[in-house]
Chain A
Amino acid sequence: MALEKFQYDNKIVKAFIIATVIFGTVGMLVGLTIAIQLFHPQFNFGIPYTTFGRIRPLHTNAVIFAFVGNAIFAGVYYSLQRLLKTRMFSDLLSWINFWGWQVIILSAAITLPLGFTTSKEYAELEWPIDIAIALIWVVFGVNMIGTILKRRERHLYVAIWFYIATFVTVAVLHIVNSFEMPVSLFKSYSWYAGVQDALVQWWYGHNAVAFFLTTPYLGLMYYYLPKAANRPVYSYKLSIIHFWALIFIYIWAGPHHLLYSSLPDWAQSLGVVFSIMLIAPSWGGMLNGLLTLRGAWDKVRVDPVLKFMVVAVTAYGMATFEGPMLSLKEVNAIAHFTDWIIAHVHVGGLGWNGFLTFGILYWMVPRMWDTKLFSTKLANFHFWIGTLGIIFYALPMYFSGFTQSLMWKQFSDQGVLLYPNFLETVTQIIPMYMLRAIGGLLYFTGTVVMTYNLVKTAQQGKFIANEDAEAPALEKETTKDGYWHRVLEAKPILFTVLTLIAILIGGIIEFVPTFLIKSNIPTIESVKPYTPLEIHGRDIYIREGCNTCHSQMVRPFRNEVVRYDPNDMEYSKAGEFVYDHPFLWGSKRTGPDLHRVGKKYPDSWHYFHMMDPTTMSPNSIMPPYPWLYDHYIDVESTSAKIRALRTVGVPYEEGYEEVALDDIYQQADGIVASLSLDGIEVHPETEIVALIAYLQRLGTDIKVDKNVAEE
């Protein structure tokens, strides 16, 4: 049989490797910055662009989409060519993929600090960037499918199944979650509202973890781990079962991020049970990885590449066991909104994604530069300091999550909260925040050492831009392999379609009833749309990323109702959020919940508090927001905002935008007047007035009837 000669494209892999290392460093550095801000708020330098609320999304976006994203592309572009015995489908598409992705990252790095954000976690980027992401992702998909179609290998290896699932699902997730109504170039409102928005967002958010941080990395593991260990994959059957089970089940589990929220109970329960059923499929990947190392454990002791991989796979196993446990309602009641979740995601992020990336880089770079690793000693140092970093990160966060949750929940014998002041529960865990920053610093140091080691390795070698290879051309299959899945592996298009079906089912079954059946979100008559001034205030709340630290979801627990709504004892109801485009429930309580903050304090309290939180709450770790006092809201944009909100279903009357300005000034003047009673002079168009208007409205509609009755 004639061998065909061709060349693998290493140049594109090199570009993605460089981007991975650079953005990994940047992303971790931003993470370290916000970690320090939590015990030393002044570390934001007093300017808007570096406050926690704005750069926490920068950190998550940078490490997920820039660091892990580029690592995925690097790993896929390297392994895909070799697994299919062909060069990439199109070099042009490869480079569009590369530069497009970097431009997207750059635009994220600019827009997020500027406060252009949709507020939806891991989907904060505004609509023009969303479109760019969709386009570039399709370019990647076309390039990958094209490569698969011109392959010289009859069957697709398990790694490629995972790549296909990644491409298909991320495309679906991104597009559905990004439906939004543009107001201006960098402002939009989510198409969905309240409970529905939350469901879509966490379907997306959860599966961003599943299909951006998990499936592509499982694919990478299936290529690089057996290569590095030089051992056959343990069980082909296990690969098949755990692949299909994983992608089918994963998609359902999103609602476990919304347990005890206003999401309908049936959807919450689906989130619980599918998370539990996910244990075995997830562990299937871990087992197949670890058992592949049978007979290679002597190598693990000496080879840093394998060391990183073993810890990565173990961290994956731990995180995928912990995740389902956190999905049990009673565990979730303790862990949700606390640092426990932060610990959980960092075991996954630092352990699984980080360490697997490092292992792969240490394996690929010497091969692509045709040399040996510059220093095994330094790589081992990186391994140990990285592991230590993970431990120093995770343990304090577990401890602080536990401590704070218990403090929130404790009642005294006399039936009152033992720690009624939320701040007490924060100051208690500040030492843990310091330890965590040390953990992050250790991990970051390891990454810097790796960068040095990789650069030195490249310098001592000679880069092979185009690697020669040869393989026989693909021939018609002559012998039929009996196994059904084997047949499927030779039909990439059918395989892709089946994957798509598998991942669509869960989403559809959860979405359709939530959107169509009215009883899922019981109407509350007194809940009305926001006033124009409150819309402006809400947009400021979104811009400053208040939702990164403050939830707006009083869960149906006695302690939360007593803490956040002592006067009326109301937990948050689904019907209260019907005009919330987007929803702002939040996922972490670094500060107290705000859903019932409306009318709780006088206007002047908020005025002083936003100016300098420590005046109203001594020792608060919330940063001051002085710029809200000399920036003015853009009253001109009011009508565009109202029109956009009307388009997505908020019932403002036709023509209301014409008179909205009157309402703005009337409401603002009221706030100005109330502030002047406490001796404060303020211009009615300043941002602080709009923000106060929004905060004072929060969660009060449900009480309207009651207040009328009282007065």
Chain B
Amino acid sequence: MLKKLIFTLLSSIIPTFLFAQTAPQAAQSSNLEMLLYVIVGLVLLISVLVLLVAIYTLYVVRAILKQEQTVSGESKVEEPGETIWMKVSKSLTRAKPIEEEEDILLDHNYDGIKELDNHLPPWWKWLFYITIVWSLIYLLAFHVFDWMPLSSEEYNISIARAEAAMEAQKASSPSAAIDENNVTVATEEAALAQGETIFIRQCAVCHQQDGGGNVGPNLTDDYWIHGGSIKDIFSIIKYGVPQKGMISWESQLNPTEMRDVASYIKVKLVGTEPANPKEPQGELYDPSTEEEENIESDTTEAATDIVAQILKHGGSLSN
């Protein structure tokens, strides 16, 4: 009960703590949405605070100007009684009015600078107290009672949540279920166009826009280091070849996008004549074997040594 109370208190001070804590409920909503709420909340919080400060400053200035006029005798006649604002101000600063300043003028004189003995503004004092209490609660919450996750725990929570979301996504949408075992060449123009866009944006840096190769190998010839079937290419894109500098794109491209870019390579790039082709690397791959492969292999490991075995088979490019 106490824990809940303090937690509510804390989260009202910093709405963002909700982020890390309420994992079960938040699992459904996407990260982005959460982030949006957090930011909107923060912006609101800060704006409200800034607004309050601004209003307060404005008010102080007004009050001071008013007092100024009173002192200089322009409007000797005070409005009957104090306004609410004046009362608020008085309770906030507990300042001696300017006209009674003499009472609290200390006998200090430094090169003509004098000092007043005004009270500490109560709101300031309370702000200080509250931040100290908040700090104690904060330290206890993180390091004594473990109510709040430390950074590594927070990381694990976010990864677990993302994985759960991915599983759910896979189950609900067929495109997310595409993987290296079931991928087939996409031939629709829309898919190939998307593949081209991705290729130019992500792949061209190392493989050249025309696929001729640069830092990465030539993708237009029939020689492939890791196999030239759609499944091989998909697999290389997905997992990368870290030793050779090909990064894993699994976290940056979704399965459909990986299929599209692999298809783009197979359909649009292979067999073209690039401007500055890099010399062939790897082994000759016979595209005519692919149909066979679709039937026979269901793992990438199998796909790599399939080349030799399949050379004797005939067939045409499958889709």
Q: Which residues of A contact B (CB under 8 A)?
A: 79, 82-83, 85, 153, 155, 157, 159, 223, 226-227, 232-239, 241, 245, 260, 265-266, 268-270, 272-274, 276-277, 279-281, 283-284, 287, 290-291, 293-295, 297-298, 317, 321, 325, 328-331, 334, 402, 406, 409-417, 420-421, 555-558, 561-563, 566-567, 571, 599-602, 604-605, 608, 616-618, 678
Contacts and interface: CB of A to CB of B under 8 A. Distances in A.
Contact of A605 (B118, B166, B176, B245): B245
Nearest to A270: B139
A415 B162 contact: yes
Given A155-B108, A280-B128, A281-B128, A328 B14 contact: yes
Contact of A295 (B68, B158, B245): B68
Nearest to B176: A414
Nearest to A300: B61
Interface stretch (B93-101, B284-292, B308-316): B93-101
Nearest to B69: A298
Interface in B235-262: 240, 242-245, 247-255, 257
Given A236-B115, A280-B131, A409 B165 contact: no
A512 to B, nearest CB: 17
Given A334-B39, A416-B253, A616-B215, A273 B139 contact: yes
Nearest to A262: B151
26 contacts: A157-B108, A223-B113, A236-B117, A245-B128, A269-B139, A270-B139, A276-B134, A276-B135, A284-B124, A287-B121, A330-B14, A330-B16, A330-B42, A334-B39, A411-B31, A415-B165, A420-B252, A421-B201, A556-B154, A558-B155, A561-B155, A566-B248, A600-B247, A601-B245, A602-B215, A616-B205
Interface in B265-317: none
A594 to B, nearest CB: 14
Nearest to B132: A277
Given A402-B39, A410-B35, A599-B245, 15 more contacts: A83-B111, A232-B105, A234-B95, A234-B116, A235-B116, A238-B120, A272-B138, A279-B127, A280-B125, A295-B64, A334-B39, A410-B31, A416-B251, A420-B252, A556-B154
Contacts of B98: 294-295
Instruction: Give me the 7 closest cross-chain CB pairs, A-B, nearest first.
Output: A330-B16, A420-B252, A273-B135, A280-B128, A602-B245, A556-B155, A414-B254
A415 B114 contact: no
Contacts of B95: 234, 291, 294
A233 B115 contact: yes
B65 interface: yes
Contacts of B139: 269-270, 273
B119 interface: yes
A599 B248 CA distance: 12
A45 B114 CA distance: 55
A280 B205 contact: no
B247 A269 contact: no
Interface string B84-115: 00000000010100100100011010111111
Nearest to A294: B64
A555 B105 CA distance: 54
B143 A558 contact: no
B30 A265 contact: no
Contacts of B53: 317, 321
B110 A153 contact: yes
Nearest to A617: B205
B110 A157 contact: yes
A321 B17 CA distance: 20
Given A233-B114, A237-B120, A567 B247 contact: yes
A173 to B, nearest CB: 24
Nearest to B253: A416
A384 to B, nearest CB: 20
B32 interface: yes
Counting chain B CB atoms within 10 Å of each CB, the highest count among A227, A235, A281 belongs to A235
B22 interface: no
B287 to A, nearest CB: 27
B258 to A, nearest CB: 10
Contacts of A241: 120
B88 to A, nearest CB: 16
A605 B206 contact: yes
B127 A283 contact: yes
Nearest to B161: A558
B97 to A, nearest CB: 9
Nearest to A618: B205
A284 B64 CA distance: 19
B135 A297 contact: no
B254 A291 contact: no
B128 A265 contact: no
Given A566-B247, A617-B205, A235 B119 contact: yes
Given A232-B105, A297-B65, A421 B127 contact: no
B169 interface: yes
Contacts of B31: 409-411, 558
A412 B64 CA distance: 55
B110 A83 contact: yes
B29 to A, nearest CB: 12
B25 interface: no
Nearest to A222: B113
A313 B268 CA distance: 64
B187 interface: no
B143 A414 contact: no
A328 B128 contact: no
Contact of A420 (B120, B134, B176, B202): B202
Counting chain A CB atoms within 10 Å of each CB, the highest count among B113, B244, B252 belongs to B113
A415 B169 contact: yes
B67 interface: yes
Given A266-B143, A328-B16, A416-B251, A409 B128 contact: no
Nearest to B243: A599
A294 to B, nearest CB: 5
Contacts of B128: 245, 277, 280-281
Contacts of B121: 238, 287
A601 B240 CA distance: 11
Nearest to B157: A558
Contacts of A79: 111
B83 interface: no
Contacts of B240: 566-567
Contact of A287 (B46, B124, B255): B124
Counting chain B CB atoms within 10 Å of each CB, the highest count among A155, A266, A413 belongs to A413
B215 A265 contact: no
Interface in B32-82: 32, 35, 38-39, 42, 46, 49, 53, 57, 60-61, 64-65, 67-68, 71
A223 B112 CA distance: 10
Contacts of B214: 608, 678
A291 B93 CA distance: 10
B17 A416 contact: no
A277 B30 contact: no
B242 A599 contact: yes
Contact of B114 (A232, A277, A604): A232
A609 to B, nearest CB: 9
B142 interface: yes
B159 interface: yes
